[in-house]
Amino acid sequence: MKFFVGIILLAFSFSLSAQKAKLEAVMDTAYMSKLLDKANNLRYSKQDSAIYYASEVIKNANKQSLVSFEAKGFLIIGSIRTIQGEYVEALKNDLNALERIKEKPDSAILAKVINNIGDDYSHMKNYHEAYQYFLETEKLARKTKNTFYQAISTFNQGLVFKHLNQLDSASSRFYRSLDISLSVKDSIGEAFVMNELGHIYYMQSKYDSSLIKLKLGLKIARKFNEFEIISEALERIGLCYLQKNNLDSAGIFMNQALEISTKIGNSNLQTNILNSQVELNIKLNRLQIAESIANQSIKIAKQSHMGDQLVNSYRLLSLIYERQNLYDQSLSYFKIHSALKDSLRDLESVNNLSNLQLQNQLQQRDYEILFLTTREQQRNSEMKKQDTLRNFLVSILAFMSLLLISLYRSSTKRRKLNLLLERHKKGTELKNNELAELNKLKDKFISILAHDLRSPIRSLSGILHLAEVQGLTEEELRDLLKNIKKRTDQTSQLIDNLLEWTLLQMNRITVNKVEFDLKEKVENNVKLLSDTTSKKLKIKIDIPSIIVKADENMIDLAIRNILSNSIKFTDDEGEIKLSVTERVKDVVLSIKDNGIGLTKQELDSIFDEKKIITKTGTFNEPGTGLGLKLSKEFVEKNGGSIWVESEKNQGCTFSFSVPKK
């Protein structure tokens, strides 16, 4: 009897434990649902908190193998990264969601995941991949009769065509999406479509039609607090008024747009709106305000790593300085704009190669998506199938599909690998050609140095031998000593330049900026070089006492090399004039001579690091071409720039800038 009572109590205990475990599981799912709702509501206002809640859901769901909750957590983090403009991180989270959902396919979540991956690609400007994912989303939504994602995927296809500037195709997709949204009374979908139709009219310069659509979309979005649509629509309305020269209205709408984009923390929208405000203030000729806003846009774009917006901001900043007649600053920022634009193109090429593994992974996911959708349908149909033969045929069909997919994937990988090897081969050949050119340049440079160092030493040896053998008068000895000093000074300057150049190549030189009088430095070099030349030159110094801040030794060497160059290529009885021009932030020192000048070819190559120009002076003074290259390096290391103006037989004017104190 006791045995049976024990069995009953044990069974009752197991029953209670099972009920408790079931109750805890229900409580956990309810708790995780609340956390997901919190995270979703905080996506714009408190993004760190939203990511924390979503991460907690992922961690708890993983412990209990609740894959749908894991997937939802990754989707929310992905959407936040999209808002922040971190599209690669968004793609990683959406791929993690896909990895989880494939274990237990859920058509509703699967459609959302595939659509989000397409959206990630669209933001990264990989429109081909994006369009394929949106088509796959639409296909899945039609099969499962999910009208919501039919509308979204069709709308996203329209965005792809708009980015590609195929506006008619974009409009047709948007209107098709609008019909679906209206059929299910999806007002938010209607707001999205109106906003994009308005933008298409703006791109076609139909500003009145654009304003009608944009204001209708704005009205609907405000009812549902869809802040992204509100902010974007306000900016676009402002742009329409800007084009219509209604500048007051343009400013009002742009300010409202900026306030909302800042509130929701959308850096991408912020920089777009700030750049629109820059254009507005340029048109109003409020150039100081425009400059301040452009710098604010650059700061946000740098923090959020938004290359396209940064390129546009630098372009606008260059335009602002041009309007202020500050052409040096304008040119400087235009160079940054151009270089950044080129580097973005290069970066896209590098990313395409370095992300080959990711592309292969994504390609595999494409086939898995196709397999998952067919598997869900097969599972539903198999419940009704009783015939053993039919089940056998379905298994054979699935096996053949997998085999074909495997063969196709293998072929695709092989083609991509061959393409990568071909590109690598071409890159290697290009580098080998560059290396060969550099070796030729090195050999030429060493030959010149050997000749220029050997010649004065041989001359010195010959002079000393002559003095020893023949016996010289006091006057002849003085002349020889002057000649020795002249050649020794030339050799010393060559060795100094060679040492400085060597230190530069080894990155062993540091810039030590101090304040010093530029006039004093010029006068010292004029006195030094006047004593070492046998030419009778008129050297005029028209420089007031002016304090600059730079590395004193570097600027001293630059002045000495450029002045020495002018003396070398100026005829006897020639003239050299040194003068300065003060600017806002720096001083320009100019050294002008009436010597033999430069040809067009020499002018184009004089500062080229990959070319060596050797040329003897008017008194057959030797030269290596090294001094001017050192001068350029040292001036630029101190934040200045160097240039030359010349014509053949018309003399040269070398100029370089030095920052003020």
| Tens digits of residue pLDDT in 308-321 | 778 888 888 888 98
The pLDDT of residue 20 is: 42
Cα–Cα distance list, 391 to 140, 376, 386, 388 (Å): 24, 15, 8, 5
Residue 205: per-residue pLDDT = 92
Residue 11's pLDDT is what?
45
Please, are residues 258 and 278 in contact by the beta-carbon 8 Å criterion? no
Of 160, 111, 120, 161, the residue nearest 139 (C-alpha) = 111
Query: What amino acid occupies position 321?
Result: Y
The residue with tokens 């690669």 is 88
Q: Which long-range contacts (CB under 8 A, 24 or more apart) does 614-619 make?
A: 614/448, 615/569, 617/567, 617/568, 617/569, 618/535, 618/568, 618/569, 618/570, 618/571, 618/572, 619/534, 619/535, 619/568, 619/572
Cβ atoms of 257 and 235 within 8 Å: the answer is yes
pLDDT of residue 579: 96
Pairing outcome for strands 538-542 and 547-551: unpaired
pLDDT digits (tens, 9 = 90+) for 330-375: 888 888 888 877 776 655 554 444 444 444 454 555 545 545 555 5
| Single-letter residue type at 512 | N
- Is residue 606 helix, strand or coil? coil
Rg over alpha carbons for the chain, rounded to the nearest Å, is 37
What is the Cα–Cα distance from 462 to 468, expressed in whole angstroms?
A: 10
> Are the C-beta atoms of 83 and 264 separated by less than 8 Å?
yes
User: What is residue 660's three-state secondary structure?
Assistant: strand
Strand blocks (E) in 431-533: 513-517
| Nearest residue to 378 via CA among 394, 399, 400 | 394
> In the chain, which stretches have pLDDT less than 70?
1-27, 103-105, 344-389, 391, 432-474, 476-508, 612, 623-624
Exposure string for 270-291, b = 16+ CB within 10 A, e = fewer? bbbbbbbbbbbbbeeeebebbb
At residue 352, the pLDDT reads: 45
Task: Please give the span between the terminal C-alpha atoms of the chain, in angstroms, as a whole number.
Answer: 104
Phi, psi (degrees; rounded to nearest 5) at 182: -65, -35
574-602 pLDDT tens trace: 999 999 999 999 999 999 999 999 988 88
Q: pTM of the full predicted structure?
A: 0.49
153 and 176 Cβ atoms separated by less than 8 Å:
no
Angle between helices 167-183 and 187-203 (to 10 degrees): 160
DSSP assignment letter at 595: S
